[in-house]
Amino acid sequence: MSYYELFVHRGSCDLIKAVFFDLDDTLFDHKHSRLCGLKALQEKINELKTVPIRQLECEHETILNSSYQKVLEHKVTVEDSLVDRIGNLCIMHGVRVSPDEVRSYANLYDREYKMNRRSVPGSKELLKLLRDHVKTGVITNGLVREQQEKIRVCQLGDLIDYLIISEEVGHSKPSSVIFEEALKRAGVEPFETLYVGNSWDHDVLPAMRCGIRTVWLNRYGLQCPDSGASMEINSYIGLDIQKIFF
């Protein structure tokens, strides 16, 4: 069975007309870029060299989650948010640095992050196969400039019909408004739509509440909160189609 049949058909009378995707860690490999940035910091900062990289990643994610809403609300700039994030990470591990040093470390992280941007393995091939059969799009939280840049770097622009970004819409996931806007732009009903995302709380649940069918991309083996609520895949490569979808 082809990728097209996998994503578009679930029954002879059940045709999907649009497939939307989350962006970060669903199409764009944010985790890979972040790990590259954190590893660069470890090489530069002695106090971080013995800290397990996964621990640093979890700490970074916690700090990011607590502060990124301020970026979306334009209360702080992306650059200042990154400096604050790296500064807090240093404080957590007893790294005593000056404001200039923190900014230098933030620039190092940012440079390594951007140099290692890539698409999630298999995502581009999937989009290419879907493109000729269904409408495709992205529903993502974030700033327009940042998210458009990720699409450009990963060369996904020609593979999607719609790019719905929270800054433009004025509402962020898990709000239903951003999903409703995507349906409106594509001219499809919820039952004709499939949404693929990596976050249970910000992708799967809100899409389901809108009546949209969902696929949970669980690349790192997390425990599923409700195995009967959504289709689940662990990769775009080597899918066990019969087991997961039928």
Task: With beta carbons less than 8 A apart as the criterion, state whether 196 and 227 touch.
Answer: no
Mean pLDDT by 10 residues, the chain (246 residues): 55 74 98 98 96 96 90 92 96 94 97 98 91 93 97 97 97 97 97 96 97 95 90 82 36
pLDDT for position 242: 39
Match 């990963």 to its residue by tokens: 154
User: Shortest CA distance to 73 belongs to which of 140, 173, 150, 166?
Assistant: 166
pTM of the complete model: 0.91
What the block records as the tokens of 186 is 């594509």
What the block records as the tokens of 101 is 């040093």
Q: Residue 76 phi/psi, 5° resolution?
A: -140, 155
pLDDT for position 1: 44
